[in-house]
C-alpha cells in the first residue's frame, strides 16, 4: 500500500483575518512533531459563515479557530461546549470529533492561566484585577475564577459592561466579583495580587500608549500581565516592572493558547518552546 499523502486540515475563520499569527506557530508545531497537518488562514464573512461550517465537516477538518465576528455566531452549530465556553458565551476553538460532532472551547483564558503557571504564578486563592470588559477580559476573568481565584475585580470605562461581567462571574462560577468604573489615573485596589491589562492599549500602532492608571499603586508584591503580544515587552509592563512588580507578557499567553489548540486537534502534547520561539522570530524579537 502506498504512502498516505492526505493532510489533516485546521485553520482559522475570521473577517478581517489578515495578520493573524496563529498559523505560523501551529505550522511550526506540526512540523516539529512530524505531523502531516496544515493550518489555513481563511477570510470568512458573516454571510459565508454557514457554508464555511458545512465545509468543516465536508472536508473532514480536525478543527478551526474562530476570530471576530464568529465567536458567538458559531454557538448554534456546536454539539457541546466546555464549561468555560458555556459561561463566557463565546468560542474560539472548534474540534471535530471522530463521530463528526463539534465541540467548542474558549482557549483564551486557559492560555493566560497556563502562561502564568509557567512563570511560577498561580491564580488560585489570589485577588485578580482585570482592566477591560471585552472578549479577552471576559475569557480571562472567567477562567481565573474557574481556576480558583479568590476574588475578581473588573475595571472598565463603560461601567455597565463591567457590572455585566462581574455578575457573569458571580452567577457562573460562584466566585466573588465586583465592578469599578475606570476613572482618570485609576488607582489599583489594595490587596491586588494579579493585575491584567485585557485591553488592546499598547498593541502595535498604539505601542506608545499606556493604560491610564496610577502606577504608584502598583506594588512589588503584584504580578502584572498584558494580553498585548506585539510588542511583548509593552510600556505597561515596563512601567509595572519599574515599580517592582513581576511581569508576564502576552506572547506567552498567545503561545499557550495555541498549544491548547494543538492538543485539542492532535491529541499530542504541544512543543511549546518551538511555538514561543516561532512567535519571537515572527515579531522580530529573536
Mean pLDDT of the region 140-160: 97
Considering the domain delimited by 119-248, tell me its CATH architecture.
3-Layer(aba) Sandwich (3.40)
- What was the pLDDT predicted at 285? 81
Q: Give the pLDDT of residue 268.
A: 97
Domain ranges of the chain: 8-105+252-282, 119-248
Q: At residue 1, does pLDDT exceed 60?
A: no
DSSP character string of the chain: -----PPEEEEEEESS-TT--HHHHHHHHHHHTT--EEEEEEE--TTTHHHHHHHHHHTT-SEEEE-TT-TTTTGGG-SEE-HHHHHHT--SEEEE-TTS-EEEE-HHHHHHHHHHHHTT---TT-EEEEE--SHHHHHHHHHHHHTT-SEEEEEESSHHHHHHHHHHHHHHH--EEEEEE--TTBPPPTT-SEEEE-S-TTSGGGTT----B-GGG--TT-EEEES--SSSS-HHHHHHHHTT-EEE-HHHHHHHHHHHHHHHHHSS---HHHHHHHHHHHTT--
pLDDT at 201: 86
Binned at pLDDT 50, 70 and 90, residue 15 comes out as very high
Answer yes or no: same fold for 8-105+252-282 and 119-248: yes
Q: What confidence score (pLDDT) does residue 3 get?
A: 65
pLDDT band at 202 (very low <50, low <70, confident <90, very high): confident
What is the mean predicted confidence (pLDDT) over 208-229? 94
pLDDT at residue 286 in the model: 64
Predicted pLDDT at 208: 74
Average pLDDT for 80-87: 96
Catalytic residue, chosen from 43, 62, 71, 280, is 71
Confidence of residue 19 (pLDDT cuts 50, 70, 90): confident
Average pLDDT (6-24) is: 93
Report pLDDT for 207: 65
Per residue in 87-144, pLDDT tens?
Answer: 999 999 999 999 999 999 999 999 999 999 999 999 999 999 999 999 999 999 999 9
Q: Is the pLDDT higher at 208 or at 106?
A: 106
Section 133-157 average pLDDT: 97
Confidence of residue 205 (pLDDT cuts 50, 70, 90): low
Average pLDDT of the residues in 161-177: 97
Residue 46 has pLDDT above 70, yes or no: yes
Task: Name the CATH architecture for the domain at 8-105+252-282.
Answer: 3-Layer(aba) Sandwich (3.40)
Predicted local confidence at residue 204, as pLDDT: 60
Average pLDDT, the chain: 94
pLDDT of residue 203: 72
Q: Please indicate whether residue 280 is annotated as part of the active site.
A: no
Amino acid at each position: 500500500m502506498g504512502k498516505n499523502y492526505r493532510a489533516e486540515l485546521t485553520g482559522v475563520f475570521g473577517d478581517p483575518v489578515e495578520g493573524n499569527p496563529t498559523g505560523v506557530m501551529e505550522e511550526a508545531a506540526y512540523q516539529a512533531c512530524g505531523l502531516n497537518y496544515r493550518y489555513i488562514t481563511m477570510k470568512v464573512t458573516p454571510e459565508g459563515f454557514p457554508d464555511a461550517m458545512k465545509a468543516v465537516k465536508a472536508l473532514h477538518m480536525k478543527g478551526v479557530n474562530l476570530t471576530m465576528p464568529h465567536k458567538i455566531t458559531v454557538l448554534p452549530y456546536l454539539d457541546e461546549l466546555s464549561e468555560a465556553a458555556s459561561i463566557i458565551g463565546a468560542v474560539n476553538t472548534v474540534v471535530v470529533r471522530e463521530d463528526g460532532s463539534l465541540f467548542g472551547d474558549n482557549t483564551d483564558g486557559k492560555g493566560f492561566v497556563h502562561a502564568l503557571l509557567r512563570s511560577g504564578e498561580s491564580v488560585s486563592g489570589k485577588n485578580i484585577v482585570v482592566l477591560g470588559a471585552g472578549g479577552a477580559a471576559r475569557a480571562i476573568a472567567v477562567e481565573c475564577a474557574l481556576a480558583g481565584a479568590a476574588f475578581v475585580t473588573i475595571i472598565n470605562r463603560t461601567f455597565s459592561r463591567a457590572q455585566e461581567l462581574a455578575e457573569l462571574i458571580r452567577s457562573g462560577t460562584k466566585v466573588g466579583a465586583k465592578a469599578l468604573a475606570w476613572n482618570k489615573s485609576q488607582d489599583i485596589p489594595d490587596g491586588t495580587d494579579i493585575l491584567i491589562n485585557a485591553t488592546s492599549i499598547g498593541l502595535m500602532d498604539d505601542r506608545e500608549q499606556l493604560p491610564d492608571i496610577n502606577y504608584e499603586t502598583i506594588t512589588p508584591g503584584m504580578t502584572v500581565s498584558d494580553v498585548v503580544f506585539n510588542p511583548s515587552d509593552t510600556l505597561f509592563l515596563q512601567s509595572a516592572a519599574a515599580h517592582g512588580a513581576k511581569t508576564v507578557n502576552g506572547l506567552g499567553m498567545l503561545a499557550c493558547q495555541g498549544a491548547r489548540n494543538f492538543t485539542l486537534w492532535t491529541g499530542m502534547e504541544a512543543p511549546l518552546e518551538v511555538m514561543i520561539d516561532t512567535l519571537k522570530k515572527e515579531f522580530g524579537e529573536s
